Amino acid sequence: MFTVYILLSEKDNKRYIGFTSDIERRLKEHNLGKVKSTKNRRPVELIYTEEFINKREAEKRERFFKSHKGRDYLNSIGK
């Protein structure tokens, strides 16, 4: 099982989008400063998740959220 997740930085109010097979471990890594792209934006809050059976579908959804249409979609649902 894979999870696409969206984090919100409490420091700069920006989103981070990623996917993982272990959401609890990954969230801990983000908040401990072990992830380069969120290290200086801590603390982060988990604001959205979607689960997928396979990695390929999770990667596809992550790419969508990072696209212009995906950002528009997230803005429209308030994420």
pLDDT digit string, tens, across residues 23-69: 999 999 999 999 999 999 999 999 999 999 999 999 999 999 999 99
**Residue 14: which domain range?**
2-76
Structure tokens at 14: 């920006």
Structure tokens at 8: 């919100």
Q: Identify the band that residue 78 occupies on the pLDDT scale cut at 50, 70 and 90.
A: confident
Bridge pairing between strands 44-52 and 2-9: antiparallel
pLDDT at res. 77: 87
Q: Within a 10 A sphere around the Cβ of 63, how many other Cβ atoms?
A: 13
Q: What is the CATH number of the domain that holds 60?
A: 3.40.1440.10
pLDDT at res. 67: 98
Of the candidates 65, 61, 51, 60, the one whose C-alpha atom is nearest the C-alpha of residue 21 is 51
Domain count of the fold of the chain? 1
Of the candidates 48, 76, 44, the one whose C-alpha atom is nearest the C-alpha of residue 62 is 48
Q: Identify the band that residue 79 occupies on the pLDDT scale cut at 50, 70 and 90.
A: confident
